[in-house]
């Protein structure tokens, strides 16, 4: 693509939820120069290796540049935009007319910009009239959303990055931040240099790169987090370390939650045995938490991606509520989001069980408020199917058309072979993407060329709920179009009003106005919604173009003053109707599938440092590929000996759901009884390295988030 006329463009990294600011410029040799944006409060000019290599990933190799339709012989044929859009709109309309609105679905992505997400959600819930829109963020942080809603009454984010710097104890649970959120981790590392009293506890079954900085590492047995935090709650409660005044004034349900915690976890020795950690280490953690006022507990995929993910989240929040350590500087539970715009997606209702602007599908008044604002012909009145169930419904023929945007479910979803069967059976598979050849696109009937990072314009929201602009600095290649525009084009062809926008600035304005629409109106479920972008309405194109990164509702400021979310939490009025936070009783339960004779090892999955998702972008960079050039199975040397696989040789791991092949390695800090495989590699290589095919499709009953960290598997030499 050609560079646009601007010399240097401030934009945002498209990878992890840290949301670093990037300055992109054109070098004399025509290549794209990338630097950290010194003005951006997420990174103050720093970038990790993935962000630094962004300039190596913007070439057009393999790009999808024109709409394509698969012919009767299975060959993709180029066609004009008008024909492609007419085809998608008419097929969707015909299926809805014959089978009803729940016979179609959208499966979207945390890679979409907020404006794209908003339009997709509006089309599906307000015009088609179904909530069958879900996102790959379901695989990432939906347990955190569900935990927040249960505890706070709203998906509040009670911590910002600055709180990490004010804390005296940082606890990271199920988070390899050194690799997965590098710039946030480096902030903690620099602080430890200047403030040695700051302690870091890492709770993770693996000894990861993050543990190198830790004062204490608790290598818990996979899936035992609830036992650990119930034990902490019990320890705090019975040693006079709880904050009775806070509990009395601002919460509900303490006694019930404590009774459940006490039932299995009152004795630290029992907890240590169940979690398979040293009692001395367990007590060291409990004492550190109990005796440190300023504690931030950061958690990530090791907590969320579990059949008990929501309970894990609430068991952590319970400990912060029990000590009153929330809504104060340097304290609180903190969900570190995986994707660049997982947060923006949840703000506009990109999950199948949410409406826009953090309103609830199951609340009649909320549905009325959204429909009233949109003036839409209908509004979905029941939750749609969450990601795993959505593809199951496609496989069973209940959903007959699916439009996939900016994601590759054939690789990334659990039980990925079922996803393959589903897409093979589906009457209409539409894929909006930037790359032609992916595992998913090989099964699509229609490919729609979307704009990529560097070409598209809009906003993203990071883990601390800071809204930043992604700005275009490259021209649109071929016939590629922004996702919001493609969706609007189809919506209009389906006969719907409400999709005429001159640009993303108008969509952002509508989204901001909706968040403020009738906000504060009393209803049975909630007194008010904290999420309110009233202060960001009315921006014209120029103001939107110039928008600096901003936390909104604004949180704690560097001079110590607060507003927005933090103020709500500072006066400790939460979003439940009575203004009180809820303790949630979290009865510990084991992972859905235990190791057995046939499948004796537990598969854990996750990211590596230099790759992102299914590598459609990072795979283009020689710099990034050199860190870890191929997929691997990390296994303890004694287990390798036991199961007859050799380091450096190929092995096949299999589960009840599928199999994959990769090279065996040691040294990844894995305990006996487990294996670790990265999520990135796909089925396009000679041997199918899709770990998604092996992962079990069990989900958390509240959040619907899959259990990516605990699948029983067997291993054999390949």
568 to 607, contacts with ligand SF4 by CB under 6 A? none
Q: Which is nearer to ligand SF4, 157 or 388 (CB)?
A: 157
CA distance 596 to 145: 33
Q: Which is nearer to ligand SF4, 12 or 586 (CB)?
A: 12
Q: Which is nearer to ligand SF4, 18 or 584 (CB)?
A: 18
Residue among 41, 51, 158, 298 that touches ligand SF4 (CB under 6 A)? 51
Residue among 1, 41, 50, 346 that touches ligand SF4 (CB under 6 A)? 50
Q: Which is nearer to ligand SF4, 20 or 702 (CB)?
A: 20
Q: Which is nearer to ligand SF4, 66 or 617 (CB)?
A: 617
In angstroms, give the least distance from the CB of 617 to ligand SF4. 11
CA distance 282 to 215: 13
144 to 183, contacts with ligand SF4 by CB under 6 A? 181-183
List the structure tokens of 231.
Answer: 């034990």
CA distance 372 to 378: 10
DSSP 341: T
Q: Which is nearer to ligand SF4, 47 or 265 (CB)?
A: 47
Q: Which stretch binds ligand SF4 (CB under 6 A): 41-49, 200-208, 656-664, 685-693?
A: 41-49
Per CB under 6 A, 47 contacts ligand SF4: yes
Q: Which is nearer to ligand SF4, 36 or 704 (CB)?
A: 36
Helix axes 114-121, 483-493, angle to 10 degrees: 20
Q: Which stretch binds ligand SF4 (CB under 6 A): 9-17, 58-66, 237-245, 276-284?
A: 9-17
Q: Report, in angstroms and rounded to the nearest whole number, the Rg of the chain calculated over CA atoms.
A: 24
Whether omega for the bond prior to residue 553 falls within 30 degrees of 0, making it cis, is: yes
- Compose the 258-287 pattern: x for residues touching ligand SF4 by CB under 6 A, - for all others: ------------------------------
- Tell me the residue ranges of DSSP E strands in 210-263: 216-218, 251-252
Q: Which is nearer to ligand SF4, 400 or 456 (CB)?
A: 456
CA distance 41 to 465: 12
CA distance 204 to 400: 41
- Strands 581-582 and 251-252 turn out to be parallel
38 contacts 46 by C-beta, under 8 angstroms: no
Q: Which stretch binds ligand SF4 (CB under 6 A): 48-56, 107-115, 234-242, 517-525?
A: 48-56
Q: How many of the other CB atoms lie within 10 Å of CB of 628? A: 16
In angstroms, give the least distance from the CB of 616 to ligand SF4. 15
Q: Which stretch binds ligand SF4 (CB under 6 A): 10-18, 365-373, 440-448, 508-516?
A: 10-18
214 contacts 201 by C-beta, under 8 angstroms: yes
List the structure tokens of 518.
Answer: 């009738």
The torsion angles phi and psi of 263, rounded to 5 degrees, stand at -55, -40
In angstroms, give the least distance from the CB of 459 to ligand SF4. 15
β-sheet with 76-78: strand ranges across: 76-78, 68-70, 446-449, 428-433, 401-405, 104-108, 133-135
Per CB under 6 A, 344 contacts ligand SF4: no
In angstroms, give the least distance from the CB of 562 to ligand SF4. 25
Per CB under 6 A, 110 contacts ligand SF4: no
Of the candidates 605, 604, 607, the residue with the CA atom closest to the CA atom of residue 209:
607
Q: Which is nearer to ligand SF4, 187 or 572 (CB)?
A: 187
3-state DSSP: the chain helix, strand, coil percent, rounded to 5? Answer: 35, 20, 45
Per CB under 6 A, 549 contacts ligand SF4: no
Residue among 15, 299, 676, 681 that touches ligand SF4 (CB under 6 A)? 15
Q: Which is nearer to ligand SF4, 19 or 706 (CB)?
A: 19
Helix (H) or strand (E) holding 229: helix 225-238
In angstroms, give the least distance from the CB of 382 to ligand SF4. 36
67 contacts 78 by C-beta, under 8 angstroms: yes
In angstroms, give the least distance from the CB of 463 to ligand SF4. 10
**C-alpha distances out from residue 56 to 9, 21, 28, 59, 301, Å:** 17, 17, 15, 7, 28
List the structure tokens of 178.
Answer: 């050194």
CA distance 633 to 590: 24
Q: Which is nearer to ligand SF4, 13 or 352 (CB)?
A: 13
- Compose the 17-36 pattern: x for residues touching ligand SF4 by CB under 6 A, - for all others: -xxx----------------
In angstroms, give the least distance from the CB of 440 to ligand SF4. 23
CA distance 100 to 93: 9
- Compose the 182-221 pattern: x for residues touching ligand SF4 by CB under 6 A, - for all others: xx--------------------------------------
Q: Which is nearer to ligand SF4, 51 or 712 (CB)?
A: 51
Residue among 1, 3, 16, 536 that touches ligand SF4 (CB under 6 A)? 16
Tally the C-alpha atoms within 13 A of residue 260's C-alpha that lie toward its C-beta.
19
Q: Which is nearer to ligand SF4, 182 or 231 (CB)?
A: 182
In angstroms, give the least distance from the CB of 546 to ligand SF4. 22
Q: Which is nearer to ligand SF4, 46 or 366 (CB)?
A: 46
Per CB under 6 A, 48 contacts ligand SF4: yes
Task: Name the closest residue to ligand SF4 (Cβ).
Answer: 51
CA distance 205 to 634: 13
Q: Which stretch binds ligand SF4 (CB under 6 A): 15-23, 84-92, 159-167, 413-421?
A: 15-23
In the three-class reduction of DSSP (H, G, I as helix; E, B as strand; rest coil), residue 11 is classed as strand
In angstroms, give the least distance from the CB of 126 to ligand SF4. 32
List the structure tokens of 182.
Answer: 């590098």
In angstroms, give the least distance from the CB of 51 to ligand SF4. 3
Torsion sign across C-alpha atoms 618, 620, 626, 629: positive
Tally the C-alpha atoms within 13 A of residue 582's C-alpha that lie toward its C-beta.
19
Q: Which stretch binds ligand SF4 (CB under 6 A): 42-50, 315-323, 550-558, 573-581?
A: 42-50
DSSP 173: E
Q: Which is nearer to ligand SF4, 231 or 549 (CB)?
A: 549
Total interface residues for ligand SF4 by CB under 6 A: 14
In angstroms, give the least distance from the CB of 699 to ligand SF4. 27
List the structure tokens of 183.
Answer: 């710039």
Q: Which is nearer to ligand SF4, 219 or 340 (CB)?
A: 340
Q: Which stretch binds ligand SF4 (CB under 6 A): 44-52, 61-69, 309-317, 641-649?
A: 44-52
Of the candidates 265, 266, 303, 268, the residue with the CA atom closest to the CA atom of residue 282:
268
Q: What is the DSSP string of 454-478?
A: TT--EEEE-TT-EEEEE---BPPPT
Q: Which is nearer to ligand SF4, 43 or 515 (CB)?
A: 43
Q: Which is nearer to ligand SF4, 182 or 658 (CB)?
A: 182
Quote the Cα angle for 295-301-306, to 5°.
110
- Strands 76-78 and 104-108 turn out to be unpaired
CA distance 677 to 665: 10
Residue among 1, 3, 10, 13 that touches ligand SF4 (CB under 6 A)? 13
Residues forming contacts to ligand SF4 in the complex (CB under 6 A) are: 13, 15-16, 18-20, 43, 47-48, 50-51, 181-183
């Amino acid at each position: 693509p050609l560079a646009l006329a601007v010399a240097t463009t401030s934009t945002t990294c498209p990878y992890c939820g840290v949301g670093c600011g990037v300055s992109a410029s054109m070098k004399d040799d025509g290549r794209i120069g990338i630097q950290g944006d010194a003005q951006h409060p997420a990174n103050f000019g720093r970038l990790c290796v993935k962000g630094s290599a962004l300039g190596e990933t913007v070439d057009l190799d393999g790009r999808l540049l024109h709409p394509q339709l698969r012919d009767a012989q299975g060959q993709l044929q180029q066609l004009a935009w008008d024909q492609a859009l007419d085809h998608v709109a008419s097929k969707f309309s015909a299926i809805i007319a014959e089978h009803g609105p729940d016979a179609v679905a959208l499966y979207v992505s945390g890679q979409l910009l907020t404006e794209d997400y908003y339009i997709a959600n509006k089309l599906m819930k307000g015009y088609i009239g179904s909530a069958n829109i879900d996102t790959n963020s379901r695989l990432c942080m939906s347990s955190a959303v569900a935990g927040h809603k249960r505890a706070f009454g709203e998906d509040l984010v009670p911590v910002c990055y600055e709180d990490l710097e004010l804390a005296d104890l940082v606890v990271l649970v199920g988070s390899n931040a050194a690799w997965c959120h590098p710039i946030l981790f480096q902030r903690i590392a620099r602080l430890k240099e200047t403030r040695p009293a700051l302690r870091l506890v890492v709770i993770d079954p693996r000894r990861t790169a993050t543990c190198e900085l830790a004062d204490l590492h608790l290598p818990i047995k996979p899936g035992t987090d609830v036992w650990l935090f119930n034990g902490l709650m019990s320890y705090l409660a019975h040693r006079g370390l709880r904050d009775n005044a806070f509990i009395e004034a601002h919460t509900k349900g303490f006694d019930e939650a404590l009774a459940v915690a006490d039932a299995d976890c009152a004795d630290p020795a029992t907890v240590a045995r169940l979690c398979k950690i040293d009692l001395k280490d367990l007590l060291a953690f409990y004492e550190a938490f109990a005796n440190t006022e300023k504690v931030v507990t950061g958690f990530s995929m090791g907590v969320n991606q579990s059949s008990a993910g929501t309970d894990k989240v609430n068991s952590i929040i319970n400990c912060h509520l029990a000590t009153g350590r929330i809504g104060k500087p340097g304290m609180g539970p903190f969900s570190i989001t995986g994707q660049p715009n997982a947060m923006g997606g949840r703000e506009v209702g990109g999950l199948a069980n949410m409406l826009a602007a953090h309103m609830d599908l199951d609340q009649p008044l909320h549905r009325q408020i959204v429909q009233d604002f949109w003036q839409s012909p209908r509004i979905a009145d029941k939750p749609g199917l969450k990601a795993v169930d959505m593809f199951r419904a496609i496989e069973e023929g209940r959903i007959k058309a699916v439009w996939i945007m900016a994601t590759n479910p054939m690789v990334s979803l659990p039980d990925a072979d079922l996803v393959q069967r589903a897409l093979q059976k589906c009457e209409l598979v539409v894929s909006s993407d930037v790359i032609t050849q992916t595992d998913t696109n090989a099964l699509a009937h229609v490919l729609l060329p979307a704009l990529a990072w560097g070409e598209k314009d809009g906003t993203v929201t990071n883990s601390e709920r800071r809204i930043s602009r992604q700005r275009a600095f490259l021209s649109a290649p071929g016939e590629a179009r922004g996702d919001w525009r493609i969706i609007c084009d189809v919506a209009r062809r389906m006969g719907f009003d409400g999709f005429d926008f001159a640009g993303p600035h108008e969509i952002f304005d509508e989204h901001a106005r909706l968040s403020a629409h009738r906000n504060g109106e009393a209803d049975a479920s909630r007194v008010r919604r904290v999420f309110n972008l009233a202060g960001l309405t009315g921006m014209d194109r120029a103001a939107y173009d110039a928008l600096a990164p901003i936390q909104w509702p604004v949180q704690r400021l560097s001079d110590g003053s607060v507003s927005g979310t933090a103020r709500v939490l500072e006066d400790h009025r939460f979003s439940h109707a009575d203004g009180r936070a809820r303790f949630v009783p979290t009865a510990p339960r084991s992972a859905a599938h235990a190791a057995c004779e046939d499948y004796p090892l537990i598969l854990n999955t996750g990211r590596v440092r230099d790759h992102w998702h299914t590598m459609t972008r990072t795979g283009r960079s020689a710099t990034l590929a050199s860190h870890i050039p191929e997929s691997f199975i990390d296994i303890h040397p004694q287990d390798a000996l036991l199961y007859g696989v050799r380091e450096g040789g190929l092995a096949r791991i299999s589960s009840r759901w599928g199999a994959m092949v990769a090279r065996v390695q040691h040294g990844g800090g894995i305990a006996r009884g487990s294996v670790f495989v990265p999520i990135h590699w796909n089925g396009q290589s000679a041997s199918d390295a899709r770990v998604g095919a092996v992962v079990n499709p069990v989900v958390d009953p509240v959040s619907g988030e899959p259990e990516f960290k605990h699948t029983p598997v067997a291993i054999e030499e390949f």
